[in-house]
Amino acid sequence: MSYQSTESTLFDSQLWRILVRLGVIAAGIGAIVFVSLRIDDFVTDGISLLLLALSAVAGALLAVRHGTFERGIFLVVVCAGVVNFVSLPTGRESRVVISLALALILEFFWLFQLLFSGGRGGQRLIASPVNKPVLLFIGINIVAYVWSLLTRDPLLLIWPSFPVVQVAALLLIIGMPLLTLLAANRVRDDKWVRRYVWFMVALGILNATVKIGWLPQSILTFIGNGTNGLFATWVGAIAFGALMFDKKLTLPQRALLVLVLLLQLYFYFFRYRLWLSGWLPMGVAITVITFFRSKRLFAALAILVVVVAAFNANSLYRSIVSDNVDEGGLQRIEIWQMNLKHVINHPILGMGPAGYAIYNMTYHPQDARSTHNNYFDILAQSGVLGFAAFVFLAVTLLRMGHQAQLRYKGRGDFREAFVNTAFGGMVASLVAMALGDWVLPFAYNITIMGFDHAMHAWLAPGLMLSLLNAIERNEPAAAGGVVLADPRKQIAERAG
């Protein structure tokens, strides 16, 4: 009798939830693989598209109903890192990566809850200075898209796939900053931030060892797309930030972090030094983290860099400057000048998402290339208004990041390490934007598949904001149960 009662309770409370989640995952993966293998152009196969859409929506509903947004966000990270071999066909060269599809679905249901829950169950947007610039940037880009359709030059050459690409580019631009807000609002337990950190460390080790040649290159089929762009910068920043600030790390954890950091430094600073976007942002992140850890250590690092540069001036100049010029690095100036001429004709709202591509193909068909610069991309796509909104957003995120640094200063724990890591990574991302399309992937360069690696530049600040929200709510840390109160309030209370 008691055995049957125990079995029923277990089935109702644990086994049933596990089976539901496994079923959702299996059904989702099965639908994706089926559509990916069966068709090359989903536009001509409405039945398959409908089945895929229904399965994705049903899967997201079950995930939200039986799970949490935190699990969904972590699933996006995992898919971006190791599920690069499966993507959704669009009938064009660029495919929709699974991580982007999942992120957009999660964001849709989160916005749906915010709009129609009436604040029930705690479903309301957390008050934050970041909300306004995020919503402003998204709104301006939506208006820029509509405006680009209304004011389009009638002489433009528009190929059949461009309208689909432009909508996909708009969804990417909307989805990136929404990911920051989603993480800031829905990640309530720092165990998910810890899982994100250690997943990145493990993937960073795997990526570096494969690219160095210590493991089979076939592994890149699974991780190749997700480990491009600024991925290595974030891995290096995570490892270095933890080593600098987290005094609670065990010896094996420190050894693992030292290993991943050395691998990143060796591969990107020595083996692949020609790729300026590979090592310079990582160096910026490490420098910024060092500055906030110790001014003396920062000065020592600066002296070391100067000494190394002085003794290797010729080789550094050859590998960084001369070789990049030979590879066409100076041609970017000509591309920027060419695109600025079109921006002058569309100064307020630009030419819409991916819009400058059709202008270049019409008026400069022999030299139609992307700008390889996110700042020019933003200016060309959403004009002066969009550019100003992005600057407003970037400055606000940095201000909030510095506030998080001050609130966790001196704790010597995981949270202090991560907020400093996120701040250093944000500064590095802003530098990297001038070197390539690594933060907001351009549709005709990195393509929308770049979401797999660009997402970290938006997710990490969101996770940092979630930790700042936690201390604002005076919540206990997940590990140790210590109440993280505002030290300034504590001082005021003692003085009173």
* Euclidean distance between CA atoms 215 and 31, whole angstroms: 31
Element (H, E) at 88: strand 87-88
Residue 45 has what pLDDT? 45
* Euclidean distance between CA atoms 1 and 4, whole angstroms: 5
Tell me which amino acid residue 207 is.
N
Average pLDDT estimate for 66-86: 85
Residue 454 has what pLDDT? 96
Residue 471 has what pLDDT? 85
pLDDT, one tens digit per residue, over 147-175 is 999 999 888 889 888 898 899 999 999 99
Collapsed DSSP state (helix, strand, coil) of residue 187? coil
Question: How far, CA to CA in Å, does 284 sit from each of 234, 263, 280?
Answer: 11, 17, 6
Whether residue 316 has pLDDT greater than 80: no
Residue 486 has what pLDDT? 45
Residue 366 has what pLDDT? 77
Which residue in the block uniquely carries the two structure tokens 């090359």? Answer: 40
pLDDT, one tens digit per residue, over 180-223 is 999 999 999 999 999 999 999 999 999 999 988 888 988 888 89
Output b/e per residue, 393-420; b: 16+ Cβ within 10 A: bbebbeebbebbbebbeebebbbbbbbb
pLDDT category at 489 given cuts 50, 70, 90 is very low
Identify how many contiguous H helices and E strands the chain contains and give both numbers. 22, 2
Q: How far is it between the farthest Cα atoms of the chain?
A: 83
Tell me which of 236 and 471 has the higher pLDDT. Answer: 236
Whether residue 112 has pLDDT greater than 70: yes
Least confident piece of the model among 137-141, 153-157, 173-177, 314-318: 314-318
Q: Is the dihedral of CA 30, 36, 37, 38 positive or negative?
A: positive
Q: Do 80 and 97 form a contact (C-beta atoms < 8 A)? A: yes
* Euclidean distance between CA atoms 166 and 168, whole angstroms: 5
Q: Which residues contact 232 (CB under 8 A, 6 or more apart)?
A: 204, 207, 208, 264, 267, 268, 278, 282
N- to C-terminal Cα separation, the chain: 62
Tell me which of 261 and 477 has the higher pLDDT. Answer: 261
Residue 183, Cα to own-chain centre: how many angstroms? 11
Whether residue 333 has pLDDT greater than 80: no
Residue 492 has what pLDDT? 45
